[in-house]
Protein backbone atom coordinates (compact mmCIF):
# COMPACT_ATOMS: atom_id res chain seq x y z
CA UNK A 1 0.00 0.00 0.00
CA UNK A 2 2.86 2.34 0.85
CA UNK A 3 4.57 1.52 -2.46
CA UNK A 4 1.35 2.25 -4.34
CA UNK A 5 0.91 5.52 -2.47
CA UNK A 6 4.49 6.50 -3.32
CA UNK A 7 3.93 5.71 -7.00
CA UNK A 8 0.77 7.83 -7.03
CA UNK A 9 2.63 10.75 -5.43
CA UNK A 10 5.44 10.50 -8.01
CA UNK A 11 2.91 10.32 -10.85
CA UNK A 12 1.01 13.33 -9.48
CA UNK A 13 4.28 15.28 -9.20
CA UNK A 14 5.24 14.44 -12.80
CA UNK A 15 1.79 15.47 -14.06
CA UNK A 16 2.04 18.75 -12.13
CA UNK A 17 5.51 19.47 -13.57
CA UNK A 18 4.36 18.72 -17.13
CA UNK A 19 1.32 21.00 -16.75
CA UNK A 20 3.44 23.81 -15.25
CA UNK A 21 6.05 23.51 -18.01
CA UNK A 22 3.35 23.35 -20.68
CA UNK A 23 1.63 26.44 -19.25
CA UNK A 24 4.90 28.39 -19.26
CA UNK A 25 5.66 27.40 -22.88
CA UNK A 26 2.10 28.22 -23.99
CA UNK A 27 2.11 31.71 -22.46
CA UNK A 28 5.68 32.58 -23.54
CA UNK A 29 6.25 31.21 -27.05
CA UNK A 30 2.84 29.63 -27.70
CA UNK A 31 1.98 26.49 -29.65
CA UNK A 32 3.80 25.41 -32.79
CA UNK A 33 1.10 25.68 -35.46
CA UNK A 34 0.87 23.61 -38.61
CA UNK A 35 1.69 25.70 -41.71
CA UNK A 36 -2.01 25.79 -42.67
CA UNK A 37 -2.73 27.72 -39.47
CA UNK A 38 0.34 30.00 -39.45
CA UNK A 39 0.61 33.44 -40.99
CA UNK A 40 1.70 32.54 -44.50
CA UNK A 41 1.61 33.47 -48.18
CA UNK A 42 -0.19 31.73 -51.01
CA UNK A 43 -0.19 31.76 -54.79
CA UNK A 44 -2.78 30.05 -56.98
CA UNK A 45 -1.80 28.87 -60.45
CA UNK A 46 -4.37 27.85 -63.06
CA UNK A 47 -2.57 25.37 -65.29
CA UNK A 48 -5.64 24.30 -67.32
CA UNK A 49 -4.27 20.77 -67.51
CA UNK A 50 -3.54 17.79 -65.26
CA UNK A 51 -0.36 17.91 -63.22
CA UNK A 52 1.45 15.92 -60.56
CA UNK A 53 1.88 17.31 -57.05
CA UNK A 54 5.30 15.63 -56.95
CA UNK A 55 6.44 17.81 -59.89
CA UNK A 56 5.24 21.00 -58.19
CA UNK A 57 6.88 19.85 -54.95
CA UNK A 58 10.20 19.39 -56.72
CA UNK A 59 9.96 22.91 -58.12
CA UNK A 60 9.10 24.47 -54.75
CA UNK A 61 11.97 22.56 -53.12
CA UNK A 62 14.34 24.22 -55.59
CA UNK A 63 12.85 27.71 -55.33
CA UNK A 64 11.85 27.66 -51.64
CA UNK A 65 14.58 25.59 -49.93
CA UNK A 66 14.37 24.97 -46.19
CA UNK A 67 10.71 25.94 -46.10
CA UNK A 68 7.63 23.87 -45.34
CA UNK A 69 5.32 24.08 -48.34
CA UNK A 70 1.71 22.93 -48.69
CA UNK A 71 0.60 22.07 -52.21
CA UNK A 72 -3.08 21.46 -52.97
CA UNK A 73 -5.01 20.66 -56.11
CA UNK A 74 -8.11 22.83 -56.41
CA UNK A 75 -11.06 23.39 -58.77
CA UNK A 76 -13.41 20.65 -59.95
CA UNK A 77 -11.05 19.24 -62.57
CA UNK A 78 -7.96 19.63 -60.34
CA UNK A 79 -6.24 21.72 -62.97
CA UNK A 80 -5.32 24.50 -60.57
CA UNK A 81 -2.83 24.45 -57.70
CA UNK A 82 -2.44 26.37 -54.45
CA UNK A 83 1.09 26.81 -53.13
CA UNK A 84 1.28 27.85 -49.49
CA UNK A 85 4.56 28.76 -47.76
CA UNK A 86 5.76 30.85 -44.84
CA UNK A 87 7.15 33.42 -47.25
CA UNK A 88 7.08 33.84 -51.04
CA UNK A 89 8.81 36.83 -52.62
CA UNK A 90 8.01 38.29 -56.04
CA UNK A 91 11.24 36.83 -57.41
CA UNK A 92 10.41 33.37 -56.05
CA UNK A 93 6.92 33.59 -57.47
CA UNK A 94 8.31 34.43 -60.91
CA UNK A 95 10.81 31.57 -60.71
CA UNK A 96 8.09 29.08 -59.75
CA UNK A 97 5.90 30.25 -62.64
CA UNK A 98 8.78 30.00 -65.13
CA UNK A 99 9.68 26.48 -64.01
CA UNK A 100 6.05 25.33 -64.23
CA UNK A 101 5.77 26.83 -67.73
CA UNK A 102 8.92 24.99 -68.70
CA UNK A 103 7.70 21.72 -67.16
CA UNK A 104 4.16 21.69 -68.54
CA UNK A 105 4.34 23.96 -71.56
CA UNK A 106 1.90 26.41 -69.99
CA UNK A 107 1.87 30.17 -70.58
CA UNK A 108 1.35 31.51 -67.09
CA UNK A 109 2.26 35.18 -66.56
CA UNK A 110 3.83 35.95 -63.19
CA UNK A 111 2.55 39.54 -63.17
CA UNK A 112 -1.04 38.26 -63.35
CA UNK A 113 -0.61 36.09 -60.27
CA UNK A 114 -1.03 37.67 -56.84
CA UNK A 115 0.68 36.67 -53.61
CA UNK A 116 -2.09 36.39 -51.01
CA UNK A 117 -1.39 36.97 -47.32
CA UNK A 118 -2.97 34.30 -45.09
CA UNK A 119 -3.58 35.47 -41.50
CA UNK A 120 -2.62 33.40 -38.46
CA UNK A 121 -5.41 31.16 -37.09
CA UNK A 122 -5.89 31.33 -33.33
CA UNK A 123 -5.92 28.10 -31.33
CA UNK A 124 -9.44 28.77 -30.03
CA UNK A 125 -10.71 29.12 -33.59
CA UNK A 126 -9.28 25.67 -34.43
CA UNK A 127 -10.95 23.91 -31.48
CA UNK A 128 -14.21 25.91 -31.53
CA UNK A 129 -16.09 23.55 -33.93
CA UNK A 130 -15.29 20.59 -31.65
CA UNK A 131 -16.32 22.10 -28.30
CA UNK A 132 -20.03 21.25 -28.59
CA UNK A 133 -19.54 17.62 -29.84
CA UNK A 134 -17.01 16.97 -27.08
CA UNK A 135 -19.29 18.59 -24.52
CA UNK A 136 -22.29 16.48 -25.56
CA UNK A 137 -20.17 13.29 -25.60
CA UNK A 138 -18.82 14.06 -22.13
CA UNK A 139 -22.32 14.68 -20.72
CA UNK A 140 -23.46 11.31 -22.11
CA UNK A 141 -20.38 9.62 -20.62
CA UNK A 142 -20.97 11.21 -17.21
CA UNK A 143 -24.64 10.19 -17.26
CA UNK A 144 -23.69 6.60 -18.10
CA UNK A 145 -21.00 6.46 -15.40
CA UNK A 146 -23.40 7.88 -12.80
CA UNK A 147 -26.08 5.28 -13.59
CA UNK A 148 -23.74 2.33 -14.09
CA UNK A 149 -21.67 2.93 -10.95
CA UNK A 150 -24.21 4.60 -8.65
CA UNK A 151 -23.32 2.08 -5.94
CA UNK A 152 -19.88 3.65 -5.68
CA UNK A 153 -21.43 7.09 -5.17
CA UNK A 154 -22.82 9.14 -8.05
CA UNK A 155 -21.13 12.43 -7.09
CA UNK A 156 -17.75 10.79 -6.52
CA UNK A 157 -17.97 8.85 -9.80
CA UNK A 158 -18.95 11.94 -11.83
CA UNK A 159 -16.26 14.10 -10.21
CA UNK A 160 -13.57 11.46 -10.70
CA UNK A 161 -14.54 10.84 -14.34
CA UNK A 162 -14.67 14.52 -15.25
CA UNK A 163 -11.44 15.24 -13.41
CA UNK A 164 -9.49 12.49 -15.18
CA UNK A 165 -10.85 13.41 -18.63
CA UNK A 166 -9.95 17.08 -18.13
CA UNK A 167 -6.51 16.44 -16.61
CA UNK A 168 -5.48 14.00 -19.38
CA UNK A 169 -6.39 16.58 -22.02
CA UNK A 170 -4.46 19.33 -20.21
CA UNK A 171 -1.43 17.02 -19.95
CA UNK A 172 -1.71 16.19 -23.66
CA UNK A 173 -1.85 19.87 -24.63
CA UNK A 174 1.10 20.56 -22.33
CA UNK A 175 3.13 17.79 -24.01
CA UNK A 176 2.18 19.18 -27.44
CA UNK A 177 3.38 22.64 -26.39
CA UNK A 178 6.62 21.37 -24.83
CA UNK A 179 7.59 18.97 -27.66
CA UNK A 180 6.54 21.52 -30.33
CA UNK A 181 4.28 19.05 -32.13
CA UNK A 182 2.52 21.10 -34.84
CA UNK A 183 -1.00 22.08 -33.82
CA UNK A 184 -3.17 21.12 -36.77
CA UNK A 185 -4.03 17.94 -38.66
CA UNK A 186 -2.77 15.44 -36.07
CA UNK A 187 -4.08 17.32 -33.03
CA UNK A 188 -7.70 16.13 -33.17
CA UNK A 189 -6.80 12.42 -33.65
CA UNK A 190 -4.42 12.70 -30.68
CA UNK A 191 -7.08 14.34 -28.52
CA UNK A 192 -9.64 11.68 -29.49
CA UNK A 193 -7.17 8.84 -28.86
CA UNK A 194 -6.20 10.13 -25.40
CA UNK A 195 -9.87 10.79 -24.58
CA UNK A 196 -10.86 7.23 -25.48
CA UNK A 197 -7.86 5.60 -23.79
CA UNK A 198 -8.38 7.53 -20.55
CA UNK A 199 -12.09 6.66 -20.63
CA UNK A 200 -11.38 2.97 -21.25
CA UNK A 201 -8.81 2.89 -18.46
CA UNK A 202 -11.17 4.66 -16.06
CA UNK A 203 -14.08 2.36 -16.95
CA UNK A 204 -11.95 -0.74 -16.44
CA UNK A 205 -10.73 0.53 -13.06
CA UNK A 206 -14.24 1.52 -11.92
CA UNK A 207 -15.69 -1.80 -13.09
CA UNK A 208 -13.12 -3.58 -10.94
CA UNK A 209 -14.04 -1.42 -7.95
CA UNK A 210 -17.73 -2.21 -8.46
CA UNK A 211 -17.03 -5.95 -8.61
CA UNK A 212 -15.01 -5.75 -5.38
CA UNK A 213 -17.85 -3.86 -3.66
CA UNK A 214 -20.40 -6.47 -4.73
CA UNK A 215 -18.15 -9.24 -3.47
CA UNK A 216 -17.81 -7.50 -0.10
CA UNK A 217 -21.58 -7.13 0.17
CA UNK A 218 -22.05 -10.83 -0.46
Q: pLDDT-derived band of residue 21, with 50, 70 and 90 as boundaries?
A: very high
Q: Judge whether residue 20 has pLDDT over 90.
A: yes
Give residues with Cβ within 8 angstroms of 89, minimum separation 6. none
Mean pLDDT of 36-58: 88
Residue 99 has what pLDDT? 92
Residue 218 pLDDT level (bands cut at 50, 70, 90): low
Q: Where in the chain is the domain with CATH 3.30.70.100?
A: 39-118
Listed in order, strand segments (DSSP E) in the chain are: 40-46, 69-74, 80-85, 116-118
- CB 26, CB 183: distance < 8 Å: no
pLDDT for the residue numbered 186: 80
- Please report, rounded to a whole number, the percentage of residues in the chain having pLDDT higher than 90: 42
- What is the model's pLDDT at position 131? 85
pLDDT grade for 16, boundaries at 50, 70 and 90: very high
pLDDT at 73 (0 to 100): 87
Name the band, by pLDDT with cuts 50, 70 and 90, for residue 94.
very high
Give mean pLDDT, residues 110-125: 86
Is the domain defined by 39-118 classed in CATH 3.30.70.20?
no
Averaged pLDDT, 187-194? 87
- Alpha-carbon dihedral angle through residues 139, 131, 202, 168, given to the nearest 10 degrees: -150
Mean pLDDT of 172-201: 89
Q: What value does the mean pLDDT of the chain take?
A: 87
Amino acid sequence: MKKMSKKIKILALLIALVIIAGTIVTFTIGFNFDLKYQEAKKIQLYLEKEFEIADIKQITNEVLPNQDVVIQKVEVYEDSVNILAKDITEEQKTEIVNKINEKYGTELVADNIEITNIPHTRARDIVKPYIMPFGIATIIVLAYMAVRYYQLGMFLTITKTLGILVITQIVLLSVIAITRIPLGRITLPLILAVYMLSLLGLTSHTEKKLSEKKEEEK
